[in-house]
Structure 1
């Protein structure tokens, strides 16, 4: 059988292969999906890739598949470990962090101001894939970024370094890293002026650096033998798909509840009313990742958040039955009660992640009386909530879970409202379409709308 493109999602536990045809036409088709355990621990992800292709052949009932291109997203090998170093936490550090998260990185360390001995020790322990240095608006404070660059250069790490700080420091930074093993990338300042974010150039470079360096990660060394197109971080791919969709249908959030984490991507300028009273700028495209909210690996964290008594009441079961559910919890629920249990976990993960991502109204009291301000990301203008990932594309109550977001607004939260429409990535291909959109944006958008039943 002949197909145009295979897209691999190389996860930390599972590798999924999606097949697409007629990609160059006005009517591209999603033709099937195969999956297999990821083989990072066997030292070669191609083993898992080949098994996923074999599974795809079985599901399509064909003996062989010939393809033009194989492209990929990856969160295998622990994803993309980054450390971020800026000047003032609420300004340059936050801007740099937004750029890194939006690109799909896992941030393991964030520092503000001059690096301390404990910070240097932590950088060595994290052993990052990328280091991001920022700090100072253009033509503003210079010394902190230079000091931090010198300290990082002294570590002599063979790690790519991105500089996205004060434009005046560029020549100095080049000299600092000249005789080190670090490959240096100079990018536009992430915070060029007070109250102005410029995170897209840094976000793009992070994805390019990831693609260049992921093939050196454990188990990924031979990936280029099979993958002949781009490889980008899976969360970054979901963000690309979300941005593509926003241009077509309007402001949205995308929720991805996984086994280990819950990711939330929002693409919205916010409302004019809230923007007028917002105390610091927010990026249009923002991602937050909740490392404690996963419905399998981190299931016990969510159980603790809900409470055993409430779970017993909600599920209408005995304490003993609940203990059995927790003890025998599987990655994919099979019977009715297991599904209801995972739905409770998913709902808690969804509400908590939205609460952490969204901003709030706050009342300040001064000599002139009460003044209302807003801080954080404004989701009040959201038109659509998109569900992707295993839980929000497969659970029976997925629509009700996403509808419950508006109902959980405490009154001062900048949450989506009750009129927001719910969309489900029925084919579970959003990340694949994000990487596909880099080369074939029209085909990716067409396939995405089909999967969402738009």
Structure 2
């Protein structure tokens, strides 16, 4: 590894770059450039011009990874698949449960996913729905190769191309289902069952498969760029990299009274909430893996953004009974923060009383350009108003230390966390004293 590296986040609106010294992780400089949607490599080159350092990157350009989940029963298999998808940094654009028919396949086509996560049944359990859904996807797939569109029998829509499938259902029929899809020309990757037994969630194999499919088909395809350097640079979906950074930050705070960390990342298109809370005593006693409560959690809100999703954000705020946000970015960011935190806490309720993030968080980090570029006093006013929110979001910020990731180091730290942990720790140390 060289003595410095350029860590780049290719966002939907901006491409952000951090030049990091190795091995200690000193931040040498930061830059940003508009994301160039006709070819995102141009934006990366603009953001890193003159640095003469190798690039490693994450990407959420084009809305990130659009994933659809097809499962057996919405509250069991499809929910398990949904959580596995979120843990992989995907934006879930559609969930279908039960036996697919022409109407359900049409809805799937309309959602235009990049990847389909096909799940269903515990290992050795019910297999009929998984077999049926694989057969439907196979019958809708083209036989002429991966560049063609998927036609919907009895419907008017088509998927833009042969959509890759990650198969993570009943292991007893995995080989059989894989063969059906592969014979029809569907790019299919097998993974372990996300729900091998009732009450036991095992998302890691599916998460790894989704990440690999993202790198191979989305980054390695021609949607973002035909430049081969992009595939060499990109290691992860941006939310996945940020969550790795959040986990490293929580580890760095292990000696704090409440070491858990929650990050609120408000972007131009989405708002993501990442959380690595302190393990609840009840959950620890029950063994987290047995009750399906992941140690690292995330919610991705595709309709909450301060630029391209601003109209949807205003509608979401109105649905929550909030005052209409003003036109400036910070007001929109405040609305996104409240709605995203409320939704995150509602999703946490699905884990039961021991799953609530707010009970194990000692540090909240605000990320995103709307906070980075704002006056500190204005940001503090936003924090105070969100902390006063009575709809649930205030419980996270009230009385909790809040910092702003002004130099945008979380994604960079996540990109370095696996093979350069000392550098990741150095970057995060700068965040804690900023």
TM-score bucket (shorter structure): 0.7 to 0.9
What CA distance in whole angstroms lies between the structure 1 residues aligned with 2:79 and 2:294? 10
* Shift, 1:374, TM fit: 3.8
| Change beyond 3 A, Cα 1:243–1:15 | same
Please give the alpha-carbon distance, in whole angstroms, between the structure 1 residues aligned to 2:310 and 2:239.
21
What's the CA shift for 1:160? 2.3
Give yes or no for contact 2:364–2:397 (8 Å, CA) kept in 1.
Answer: no
1:289 is matched with which residue?
Answer: 300
User: Which residue of structure 1 lines up, in the alignment, with residue 51 of structure 2?
Assistant: 65
Secondary structure of 1:426's counterpart equals coil
Unaligned segments of structure 1, at least 5 residues: 55-63, 315-321, 327-340, 363-372
The within-5 A match list for 1:263-274 is: 263-268=272-277, 270-272=279-281
Correspondence list, 1:203-214, <5 A: 203-213=207-217, 214=219
> 1:73 deviation in Å?
1.0
- Provide Cα deviations, 1:304-350, integer angstroms capped at 9, x if missing partner: 5369x9969x9xxxxxxx7xxx4xxxxxxxxxxxxxx4333222211
Q: Residue in 2 aligned with 1:387?
A: 366
Structure 1 residues 262 and 418: alpha-carbon distance in aligned structure 2, compared to 1, 3 A threshold: same
Q: Deviations over 1:109-142 (max 9, x none)?
A: 1011111211212333334321111111222211
- Give the conservation status (yes or no) of the 8 Å contact 2:330–2:371: no
Trace 1:89-128 onto structure 2 (pairs within 5 A). Answer: 89-128=74-113
Residue 182 of structure 2 aligns to a residue whose secondary structure is: coil
> Aligned to 1:119, what secondary structure does the other structure show?
helix
User: Of 144, 148, 173, which aligns to 1:169?
Assistant: 173
Change (3 A) 1:247 1:180: farther
What are structure 2's unaligned runs of at least 5 residues?
A: 142-149, 151-161, 254-258
Q: Deviations over 1:343-366 (max 9, x none)?
A: 33222211211111114999xxxx
Do the aligned partners of residues 12 and 230 (structure 1) sit closer, same or farther apart at CA in structure 2, a change above 3 Å counting?
closer
SS across alignment from 1:137: coil
Work out the CA distance in 2 between the residues paired with 1:91 and 1:448. 37
User: How far apart are 1:403 and its partner, in Å?
Assistant: 5.1
Shift of 1:229: 4.0
Report the CA distance between 1:144 and its aligned residue.
0.9
Identify the residue that residue 248 of structure 1 maps to in structure 2.
Answer: 252
Cα separation, partners in 2 of 1:414 and 1:376, compared to 1, 3 Å: farther
For residues 183 and 361 of structure 1, what CA distance do their matches in structure 2 show?
34
Aligned to 1:426: 406
Equivalent of 1:348, from 326, 329, 335? Answer: 335
Cα gap change, 1:266 to 1:404, in 2 (>3 Å) = farther
1:147 to 111, 126, 132: 132
- CA separation of 1:348/1:182 partners in 2, compared to 1, >3 Å: closer, same or farther? same
Contact 1:137 1:194 in 2 (8 A): yes
In structure 2, which of residues 362, 379, 400 is the aligned counterpart of residue 398 of structure 1? 379
- Which protein has the larger Cα radius of gyration, Structure 1 or Structure 2? 1
1:175 positional shift:
2.2
Note the alpha carbon deviations across 1:134-192, whole angstroms, 9 max, x for none: 11122221111111111112222533211111221212122212323223222121112
Look up the SS of the partner of 1:49 in the other structure.
Answer: helix
Report if the CA contact (8 A) 2:67-2:91 is conserved.
yes
8 A Cα contact 2:116 2:163, kept in partner? yes
Work out the CA distance in 2 between the residues paired with 1:7 and 1:190: 31
Q: Secondary structure at the match of 1:380?
A: helix
Q: Does 1:219 align with 2:204?
A: no
What are the equivalent positions in structure 2 for 1:258-337 lying under 5 Å apart? 258-268=267-277, 270-272=279-281, 281-303=292-314, 305=317, 326=327
CA contact (8 A) 1:264 1:289 kept: yes
Query: Do the aligned partners of residues 343 and 89 (structure 1) sit closer, same or farther apart at CA in structure 2, a change above 3 Å counting?
Result: same
Change (3 A) 1:378 1:436: closer
Q: Is the 8 A contact 2:7 2:55 kept in 1?
A: yes
How big is the alpha-carbon RMSD for the aligned residues of Structure 1 and Structure 2? 3.2
Deviations along 1:39-58, one digit per CA (max 9) or x if unpaired, are: 222xx22222222223xxxx
Structure 2 partner of 1:17? 17
Structure 1 residue 436 displacement after superposition: 2.4
TM-score by length of 2: 0.82
CA distance in 2, matches of 1:231, 1:303: 33
C-alpha separation between the residues in 2 aligned to 1:311 and 1:119? Answer: 36
Does 1:236 find its partner at 2:215? no
2:47 counterpart (52, 56, 59): 52
1:415-454 to structure 2, matched below 5 A, reads 415-416=395-396, 418-453=398-433
Structure 2 residue corresponding to 1:192, chosen from 190, 196, 200: 196
